[in-house]
Amino acid sequence: MTHRTSATTLYRRKSYRRGSYRRERRVDRVYYLFLVPTLLVFTAFVVIPALIGIFYSLTDYVGFGEWSFLGLSNYAALFSDPRILEAYGFTLGFAVVTVVVAQVIALALAVALTRRIRFATTLRTVFVIPMVVSGIVVAYVFNFLFSNSLPAIATAVGFGPLEESILGNPDLAWLSIVIVSAWQTIPGALLVYTAGLTSIPTDLYEASALDGASPWRQFRSVTVPLIAGFILINTILGVKGYLGVYDVIVGLTGGGPGTATSSVAMTIFGGFTGGDYAYQMANATVFLVVTALISVAQIIATRGRAVRL
Amino acid sequence: MSRQVNQSRQVDRHRGGTLSRRSFLAGSAAMVALGAAGCAPAARAGGGVTLRFYEQKQEVLAYFDDLLRRFEKERGGVTVVHDSTVAIAPQFVRNEPADVGCFNDNLELARYIKRGVLGDLSDLPSAHTVRTDIGELTDQYATYPGRTSVLPYSLAAAGVIYNKKIFRDHDLPVPETWSQFVDVCEELSRAGVTPIYATDRDTWTLWQGLFDYSVGSLVAPGEFFRRLKELGTDVGPDSEVSFEKDFAVPMERAKTISSYFNPDHAVRAYADGNLAFGKGEAAMYLQGPWALGQIALVDPDLEIGTFPLPVSENPDDRQARVNIDLGLWIPTASPHQDEARELVEFLMRPDIINAYNSDNLAYSTLQDAPPQQDERLAGLQEYVDRAAFYQGAGTFVPTSIPLGNYLQAAIRSGNFEGMLRQLDADWRRLAGRGATV
């Protein structure tokens, strides 16, 4: 209490002396102190290592011992390496497909669960379970399902296309990764959407119903605009997460068959054991830029239409 | 793993009483102290020298622990800490390598040899007791001028593991030529027996078995890769050596072999393979001695033999795939060179090295070493004796080229020629940015 009073007094006195509206809205400096620990940790464990990594991407460093400066040749080699370009193509395509699939299902589930249906609470709990299970565990369980159970069922019912495991098929293996990634990330998105939907005042629905709006029209004209901010944040977080896809692939296909499902994160990680440290650091730097650009583009594209976050 | 050992020691200390907070704290402090001793090479205990011994092969951790305790007792005044962390790179990155290393001799170790961070062991008495034809194997990956950087400690030999009972039941001989091998596979297929069990999902099993065995007896990998390295960016269809040209016949063999795989090979993993072979579900298995322990867990009485894969019509061409499973080295950065050398000499003592290898399904690297007595490996002994062996071609391919994944795709599509062209292209690209080993 004492602290708050003194802070308020200080605030009032300063604002009185300076007199402007802007100054009056000024926050107490003590709040900036709260940021210090996070900033320190972020700088020490994210910014500095990233800068060191970017520096080594300009060298031929292998992780230990001597190195020499190469300039941009790692980057030049990177852009002409078909395997790296293939990994980017796969990762971006995978992120787009998965984010659409996961958002549509999560939103549909959230709409259903916020209606007064039976067992809504129980169902919500059940739907959230995938979120608390580790990705690699989920991937191994699904690996078993895709390799053994699904082909066995398909054979029993005589459904040809699925008699061979999709994990062994270079044209279909990516589907398994979409399915498992979506299954795993839908709960998080679902929770965000549930929060968004419950924040919409019910009188808006009542008013639109009086005007004769169908449920679909209500969804398009009331629900979607009012949860646009939630859609935006789910999409950005989703794309960011899917771009870094690693553990699910390791558990399901190991990047195969062939290199059909090798993600960028997997190629980067391969560099640490393969003595390709500097080259993959260049890859990581490019990936950082690509990820940042995608996030910024998403924010700009949805600005104005979305509710401020 | 060393952490687990520490924990079990702590548990022992408190066995029989409830864990009080004080004893827990004391235990934690002891663990921290043990951990610290494991990290700092210069740590001293009770005035004596503390050595750090790096060895991380899971199956023999306890075996080496016993050896280290024996060394401590015999030597006196030296404590040896067993470092069994999985990755080798961090200790060199921190510039705190173990005083003595005992590690698989492969391309990864070659990086350290090449950069001269491993000291010369040629003046050790034991260095002259090693078979020269085995010592030369380590030079195939990398050398450092004027140094013997690694003393080979344990040689593992691999070939085709086969189920003797299935062979007997179908009255099949051990094949000595390529056409005999195909005949065996054909007869097994006709009898409804899976000829070969493959596990494509663990891609290392594909290059270790199918690729290495198909190549090794036709093209000498050490020589091939030496010339390939010299060519660098000039590797291509018209160069003196290339994957596309030299590996064409071996990959025809591989393609034929892969047609005898179990139907679900694409989605089976290494553990599935050991289980299936242990249960007698396939006649042959392209694996090394490391799989035998797992197979024995499934059926300890399974009659198993090993033969080198014949890939030509001349039985004399047959060779075994070998690798230096363990080699000893001392980093130049170790502050305890004398004690480290004493430990190496101790481990190289004929009674110790020969016992280790016969106990662990491997071959001693010493001249006049006794033969490996295990029935399951008997078929490879003569090849090891007369140095009719090669180090697998796949072990010369840097991990930045995903050979296992390429094989996975080639087996599916049947397009091994395309894979070989891809390997040439990848090799050129690696050489172009100076990223060999």
Partners of residue A170 in chain B, C-beta under 8 Å: 409, 412
Chain-chain contact of B266 with A167 (C-beta, under 8 angstroms): yes
Domain-embedded: residue B20: no
Query: Which residues sit opposite A308 in a β-bridge?
Result: none
Are B163 and B121 found together in one domain? no
Where does residue B44 rank: exposed (0-12), middle (13-18), buried (19+ CB within 10 A)? exposed
Mean pLDDT (chain B) is 88
A59, A60, A61, A62, best to mutate vs chain B, most B CBs in 10 Å: A62
Residue B354 has pLDDT above 60, yes or no: yes
The pLDDT value given to residue A75 = 93
Find the range with the poorest average confidence among A3-7, B131-135, B348-352. Answer: A3-7
- Tell me how many domains chain B contains: 2
Q: Shortest CB distance from A73 goes to which of B93, B409, B433? A: B433
Return d(Cα B142, Cα B149) in angstroms, integer.
10
For chain B, give the percent of residues with pLDDT over 90.
78
Domain-embedded: residue A240: yes
The pLDDT value given to residue B119 = 95
Instruction: Count Cα atoms within 13 angstroms, Cβ side, for A163.
Output: 8
Q: Å from B35 to nearest chain A CA?
A: 23
Return d(Cα B53, Cα B68) in angstroms, integer.
9
Nearest CA in chain B to A259: B405
Q: Which two tokens stand for residue A186?
A: 């839908």
Judge whether A146 is closer than 8 Å to chain B, CB to CB.
yes
Is residue B75 within 8 A of residue B346, CB to CB? The reply is: yes
Helices (H) and strands (E) in chain A, counts: 17, 0
Judge whether A262 is closer than 8 Å to chain B, CB to CB.
yes
Q: What is the CATH number of the domain that holds B106?
A: 3.40.190.10
Residue A209 CB contacts under 8 Å (≥ 6 apart), including other chains? A218
Partners of residue B92 in chain A, C-beta under 8 Å: 63-65
Return d(Cα B356, Cα B360) in angstroms, integer.
6
Chain-chain contact of A259 with B432 (C-beta, under 8 angstroms): no
Residue keyed to tokens 């004929």:
B350
A64, A78, A250, A252, best to mutate vs chain B, most B CBs in 10 Å: A64
Chain A with chain B: Cβ pairs closer than 8 A: 100
Q: Shortest CB distance from B93 goes to which of A64, A73, A273? A: A64
Partners of residue A80 in chain B, C-beta under 8 Å: 429
Chain-chain contact of B400 with A164 (C-beta, under 8 angstroms): no
Are B364 and B263 found together in one domain? no
Partners of residue B264 in chain A, C-beta under 8 Å: 147, 151, 165
Would you put residue A308 in left (φ > 0), alpha (ψ -120 to 50) or beta? beta
Residue B239 CB contacts under 8 Å (≥ 6 apart), including other chains? B231
Chain-chain contact of B92 with A60 (C-beta, under 8 angstroms): no
User: Cis peptide before B97, with omega less than 30 degrees from 0?
Assistant: no
Query: Is the dihedral angle over the CA atoms B121, B122, B127, B133 positive or is it negative?
Result: positive
Query: Is the dihedral angle over the CA atoms A208, A212, A216, A217 positive or is it negative?
Result: negative
Can you give chain B as a three-state secondary structure string? CHHHHHHHHHHHHHCCCCCCHHHHHHHHHHHHHHHHHHHCCCCEECCEEEEEEECCCHHHHHHHHHHHHHHHHHHCCEEEEEECCCCCHHHHHCCCCCCEEEECCCHHHHHHHHCCCECCCCCCHHHHHECHHHHHHHHCCCCCCCCCCCEEEEEEEECEEEEHHHHHHCCCCCCCCHHHHHHHHHHHHHCCCEEEECCCCCHHHHHHHHHHHHHHCCCCHHHHHHHHHHHHHHCCCCCCCCHHHHCHHHHHHHHHHHCCECCCHHHCCHHHHHHHHHCCCEEEECCCCHHHHHHHHHCCCCCEEEECCCCCCCHHHCCEEEEEEEEEECECCCCCHHHHHHHHHHHHCHHHHHHHHHHCCCEECECCCCCCCCHHHHHHHHHHHCCCEEECHHHHCCCCCCHHHHHHHHHHHCCHHHHHHHHHHHHHHHHHCCCCC
The pLDDT value given to residue B435 = 58
Residue B29 has pLDDT above 60, yes or no: no
Return d(Cα A190, Cα A279) in angstroms, integer.
39
Instruction: Count Cα atoms within 13 angstroms, Cβ side, for B412.
Output: 24
The β-bridge relationship of strands B160-163 and B282-285 is antiparallel
Its domain, for residue B354, covers: 46-156+324-376
- Tell me how many domains chain A contains: 1
pLDDT of B182-210, one tens digit each?
A: 999 999 999 999 999 999 989 999 999 99
Enumerate long-range contacts of A71-74, CB under 8 Å, 24 or more apart: A73/B433, A74/A278, A74/A279, A74/A281, A74/A282, A74/B433
Question: In the structure, what pLDDT confidence band is assigned to residue B399 with cuts at 50, 70 and 90?
Answer: confident
Domain-embedded: residue A62: no
Domain-embedded: residue A96: yes
Tell me, what's the ipTM?
Answer: 0.76
Are B180 and B57 found together in one domain? no
Is residue B38 within 8 A of residue B83, CB to CB? The reply is: yes
The pLDDT value given to residue B27 = 45
Are B119 and B163 found together in one domain? no
Mean of the pLDDT values across residues B363-380?
Answer: 94
Are B184 and B152 found together in one domain? no
Residue B35 has pLDDT above 50, yes or no: no
Q: Shortest CB distance from B429 goes to which of A63, A81, A275? A: A81
Residue keyed to tokens 């610290």:
B36
Domain-embedded: residue B41: no
Are B100 and B220 found together in one domain? no
Please give the distance of CA A17 from its chain centroid, rounded to a whole number: 47
Chain-chain contact of B402 with A83 (C-beta, under 8 angstroms): yes
The pLDDT value given to residue A299 = 79
Q: Which two tokens stand for residue B3?
A: 């952490």
Cα angle value B178/B183/B186 (rounded, 5°): 130
pLDDT of B7-22, one tens digit each?
A: 333 333 333 333 444 4
Domain-embedded: residue B107: yes
Which of B376, B396, B412 finishes a domain? B376
Nearest CA in chain A to B426: A81
Find the range with the poorest average confidence among A66-70, B69-73, B244-248. Answer: A66-70
Are B189 and B299 found together in one domain? yes
What count of other Cβ atoms lies within 10 Å of the Cβ of residue B385? 12
Return d(Cα B190, Cα B185) in angstroms, integer.
9
What CA–CA distances, in Å, run from B177 to B161, B173, B215, B314? 16, 11, 15, 6
Return d(Cα B169, Cα B166) in angstroms, integer.
5
The pLDDT value given to residue B45 = 43
Are B316 and B329 found together in one domain? no
Mean of the pLDDT values across residues B357-370?
Answer: 94
Which of B376, B395, B412 finishes a domain? B376
Domain-embedded: residue B236: yes
Domain-embedded: residue B29: no
Partners of residue A255 in chain B, C-beta under 8 Å: 402, 405
Q: What is the CATH number of the domain that holds A246?
A: 1.10.3720.10
Are B91 and B51 found together in one domain? yes
Residues of chain A with pLDDT under 70: 1-25, 302, 304-309
The pLDDT value given to residue B16 = 35
Its domain, for residue A103, covers: 75-302
pLDDT of A77-129, one tens digit each?
A: 899 888 899 999 999 999 999 999 999 999 999 998 888 778 888 888 888 88
